[in-house]
Amino acid sequence: MRTVGLILALFGALALGYEVFRVEHKRDSNQNVISAERTFWIPPVVSGIALVSGLLLTAVSAQPKDE
């Protein structure tokens, strides 16, 4: 659980910093290079939810269990 929480927190923090991700695809087709660029926008609400969820999972998994 702690690892999942850390990954979610890291993803949320990165997504808050970089709201737009660009991916470029190159394909060769009979000596012609075809290039296409795609842009993904991640809403800040989704980034915030991922960040808070990751921090909560990390905090809950760090607490000692009472038995």
> Closest Cα partner for 13 from 44, 39, 56, 57?
44
- Specify the amino acid at residue 5: G
Which of the four pLDDT bands, split at 50, 70 and 90, describes residue 51?
A: very high
* Segments making up each domain of the chain, as ranges: 2-62
Of the pLDDT bands very low, low, confident and very high (cuts 50, 70, 90), residue 66 is low
The dihedral formed by the CA atoms of 13, 58, 50 and 1, expressed in degrees to the nearest 10: 130
pLDDT digits (tens, 9 = 90+) for 3-33: 999 999 999 999 999 888 788 877 776 767 7
